[in-house]
Chain A
Amino acid sequence: MDILSGLIGGFGVILTPANLYYCFLGSLVGTLIGVLPGIGPLATLSLLLPFTFNLPAVSAIVMLAAIFYGAMYGGSTTSILVNIPGEAASVITCLDGYQMARQGKAGRALGIAALGSFFAGTLSTAALTLFSPVLVAFALRFGPPEYFALMALGFVITLFMVAGSTLKAVVVLALGVFFSTIGLDIVTGKERFTFGLIEISGGFELVAVIMGLFGVSEILLNMEKMAKGEFFKKRLGSLLPTRADWRASGGPILRGSLLGFGLGVLPGGGPTTASFFSYAVERRVSKEPQRFGAGAIEGVAGPEAANNAAVGGSLIPLLSLGLPSNAVTALLLGALIIQGVQPGPMLMTQRPDIYWGVIASLYVGNVMLLVLNLPLVGLWVQLLKLPYWILFPNILLLAVVGTYSAGHSFFDVWVMIAFGMVGYALRKLDYEPAPFVLALVLGPQLEQALRQSLIMSEGSVSIFFTRPLTAVLLVLAAALVALLIVGVWSRRGLSRRLTQALKESSR
């Protein structure tokens, strides 16, 4: 009953013309920066923060939060249209969304992304409304060993994600984790693998790597075939998801929502991880995994639902504990503090207007974003009718400016170019670059958790097996690895081929 009256109070706060306006403004800006590659919610929030000083606290925080989840709606657009992820959380949407676009199904992909985002956003808000206190208690049980186990499980799951060779995925993951360790040692603070370059003492800028690996490499690949003409089927099918699309997407959206919400609640989780996990799960449960990577709508619906649900989840530790689970919620925390509001256990009783107002605004904002994004689908699809010689220089321009504005650094532009060449080479050799991004995001967290755990146990690995939650997660990871090895061995008849080859060579 408390929840109901709180929520009604929240809607009372939010359903004023002024607050609705700021919610809408945030949704609009969020969609825009989500669509534009490079500038993510983090950069935008830090720029817009000063403009919110003079707003009432509720309006300010409602607008900033709307930018955050609005970016998740918009982020999938360029992934689907031109293979450039608007956000790290939309990297995975490239795999199938872009293929759908090339097959003339861009409208259906964009439509399912928007609708899936809406359902996930609303579902996770409902979960946030109802279960916040329970979830907080659960999230606190995650200490360093639990995080290590979760990260390890995440990497194993990623191996299930890629369509091609598992060995190649191992190589890409290992490279990604190694690159994530370049820079300052997170425990001792000493430089490693930097060869004295101060620019990479903080590691590589994620935006630059993503722009290069996906955007630039895609253009280079298309350049080869440019003489042959166009890459997108001109005849466009349905602008909205068909009934068959819905049947295929229902399960992925539901699973993606749950997964995304759960991971969002955990500090260090967040939208990017959630989208990768969801994709891997969908590919695993699908009856036709070979369709993934070739334009499977489940591969768009699941991850897009997951990254939106994760936003709702990540607001729980922020509002109830005052603890940000990623850089964007850290900024929201800063915004609240500047407004003189201290998020944390007392927020719900001391400032119910803010606590419930923000929650109510999530329901409202998700509706606004759906109404805003669905009509845009038609517009975006028209963009693909432009000839490629007009499209590609614009994509390049956006990639350069987006990368530069992420950190105001020219060095990052060079990083982008270098990763563009690497991505081009890798993709020509049938390597899937997406796991590299996940490895780059999760690598530091994996190392941190591993080293924290072993420091806590004074070097003994028993810490991973004496804590029940950790043990369960690690056993799960080990079982998946076993499954993978058995699967590869039997499916590809590797053993048969090996013995045959040995016979031949001994002849």
Chain B
Amino acid sequence: MKRLLAIAGLLLVFGVLPAMAESEAEIKARINALKPADFPTQPIEFVVVYPAGGGMDVTARLLAKYVEKYTEQRIIVLNKVGGAGLVGNAYVATQAKADGYTVGVLSDGSWTDALLKAPGKWTQKNFQPLAYLNYEPRTWIVSTSGPFANKSTREIVEHAKQNPGKVKVAITPGLSGEWLAEQIEGLSGAKLIKVPFQGGAPAITALLGGHIDVAGVYYSEYQGHLAAGKVRVIGVASDRRLASMPQVPTLNEALGAKDLVWEVWRYAATPRGAPEERRKYLAAALEAALRDPGLIAEYAKKGAITERKYASVDEVEAAMDLLYERARNFFAKTGRLK
């Protein structure tokens, strides 16, 4: 019996896998064939516009690890931090050389930043995408030892409507958490107390300490507390439920709305105008990395979802245009943009 299993295992390893996909060596050879003669002669820089250790940073570093595996080139992750991403986004959009050595590992924040804080300085068109990476929807969570431990989103919003100023929601100013809370206010007529925090971690601390009631944060920021039963997810700001928590309704379902969709949408790009052959090489390497089951598993473990696919760089670009328009309309409607 044992021997039979061993044989079956060997068959699986040597017989089935190669048939499913090309081997690592083949992929490497394919990428290497695209490598320009004069590139790269120095390390490639992945620019991250948020601090080391955060969601974007981990995304970029995992990506760098797998791109290094396929290209055998050295990649440096550079955190250009400041102004809640503004400094780094401005750097990739307007200052960095378009020579292929600078690759921004960016999010949709790269153009909302320009819309809100540096109007007219740049748009999504300044970033020429190489690949779409993943997305992660915002979620609303409550503390399991707080007053809303067993309440649904609808009940909490209803409570806020009856008692204006009694429900405190943690938001990150200038990011989707704030807009989501505003949309829900507009939708329901409830008045929420929107307490600003710099990122998810301090907001979750305050939630656990009972200082606030609801936090609009990402799964990767609280998965340890979820596993320990300290927090409960009450709604997902996406157009579909999360595969990892199918019992949790989307906020659209919970509140009978259509546009409560706020996701961080991550992509890699060069400044527009980088040499086409260098971009082809980088794009092929990124694609190989993103298809690697190891990277897919690591992204999934930290809560990012890779399921959405775009067949080509052009489709990614089209998606960016769409998201840009959607953000611009929202800002115009809420008076943030004249």
Contacts and interface: CB of A to CB of B under 8 A. Distances in A.
Given A184-B84, A323-B201, A144 B211 contact: yes
A163 B65 CA distance: 51
Interface residues of A, number: 56
Nearest to B81: A202
Interface in B183-224: 193-198, 201-202, 204-206, 208-212, 220, 223-224
Contact of B84 (A140, A189, A347, A458): A189
Interface stretch (A172-180, A216-224, A277-285, A335-343): A335-343
A267 interface: yes
Contacts of A347: 224
A332 to B, nearest CB: 7
Contact of A452 (B75, B90, B196): B196
B51 A330 contact: yes
A346 B53 contact: no
Given A189-B117, A345-B225, A321 B205 contact: yes
A288 to B, nearest CB: 41
B227 A346 contact: yes
Given A50-B65, A201-B82, A322-B224, A334 B206 contact: no
B302 A337 contact: yes
A465 interface: no
A202 B87 contact: yes
B52 A331 contact: yes
B53 to A, nearest CB: 3
Interface in B28-83: 51-54, 57-58, 61-62, 64-65, 68, 75-83
A289 interface: no
B58 A456 contact: no
B17 interface: no
A50 B174 contact: no
A345 B224 CA distance: 7
A191 B168 CA distance: 26
A184 to B, nearest CB: 5
Contacts of A202: 81-84, 86-87
Interface string B165-187: 10010000110000000000000
Contact of A334 (B61, B65, B223, B301): B61
Interface stretch (A11-19, A41-49, A254-262, A386-394): A41-49
A320 to B, nearest CB: 10
A346 B228 contact: yes
A373 to B, nearest CB: 27
A9 interface: no
A141 B62 CA distance: 35
B196 A455 contact: yes
A236 B215 CA distance: 59
Contacts of B82: 183, 201-203, 407
Nearest to B57: A334
Interface in B257-303: 298, 301-302
Contacts of A322: 224-225
A455 B193 contact: yes
A451 B196 contact: yes
Interface string A325-365: 00100111111011010111111000000000000000000
Interface string A407-420: 11000000000000
B230 interface: yes
B332 interface: no
B211 A143 contact: yes
B8 to A, nearest CB: 29
B318 interface: no
Interface in A280-337: 317, 321-324, 327, 330-335, 337
B52 A45 contact: yes
Nearest to A344: B224
Given A144-B211, A338-B62, A456 B195 contact: yes
B65 A53 contact: yes
Interface in B73-121: 75-84, 86-87, 90, 116-118
A47 B206 CA distance: 31
B55 to A, nearest CB: 9
A335 B201 CA distance: 16
B77 A342 contact: no
Contacts of B78: 408
A448 interface: yes
A383 interface: no
A429 interface: no
Given A186-B173, A338-B61, 11 more contacts: A42-B52, A183-B83, A184-B86, A198-B83, A201-B82, A267-B202, A335-B53, A340-B301, A344-B225, A345-B227, A455-B193
29 contacts: A46-B57, A46-B77, A46-B79, A49-B77, A50-B68, A53-B65, A143-B206, A144-B206, A184-B84, A186-B198, A189-B117, A190-B117, A191-B83, A201-B87, A322-B224, A323-B204, A323-B205, A324-B201, A327-B51, A327-B52, A330-B52, A330-B201, A334-B53, A334-B61, A407-B81, A407-B82, A452-B197, A456-B195, A458-B165
Interface of A: 42, 45-47, 49-50, 53, 140-144, 183-191, 198-199, 201-203, 267, 317, 321-324, 327, 330-335, 337-338, 340, 342-347, 407-408, 448, 451-452, 455-456, 458
Interface of B: 51-54, 57-58, 61-62, 64-65, 68, 75-84, 86-87, 90, 116-118, 165, 168, 173-174, 193-198, 201-202, 204-206, 208-212, 220, 223-225, 227-228, 230, 298, 301-302
